[in-house]
Amino acid sequence: MKLSLKLYIYLAIGVALFILSAMFFIWSVGYMEHAMIATSLLSALIGFSLLSGALYMFRLSAYIYGIERGEREEH
């Protein structure tokens, strides 16, 4: 059985959020080096939020994958 598109959409959103979060983490160190403390802490916070969002997306796609693959195993 072919896996549905939904899985890949969630995966893509997850990967995009993950890359964004990594960028924010790197930016936070850069801001700290340029003595922008509040900006740095805020971007670290944004990085953590985006990372947890990415993980939630991965989890959703894992559930969809589970439903579809689990179906195939039963047949």
27 binds other proteins (CB under 8 A): no
- Which one of residues 1, 5, 35, 38 is an interface residue with other proteins (CB under 8 A)? 35
Please report the sign of the dihedral spanned by the C-alpha atoms of residue 13, residue 15, residue 17, residue 20: negative
With contact defined as beta carbons under 8 Å apart, do 54 and 4 qualify?
no
6 binds other proteins (CB under 8 A): no
Provide the minimum distance between the beta carbon of 31 and other proteins in the complex, in angstroms, as a whole number. Answer: 9
3 binds other proteins (CB under 8 A): no
Amino acid at 2: K
With contact defined as beta carbons under 8 Å apart, do 12 and 72 qualify?
no
Question: In the complex, which residues of this chain contact other proteins (CB under 8 A)?
Answer: 25, 28-29, 32-33, 35, 37, 40, 44-45, 48, 51-52, 55, 58-59, 62-71, 73-74
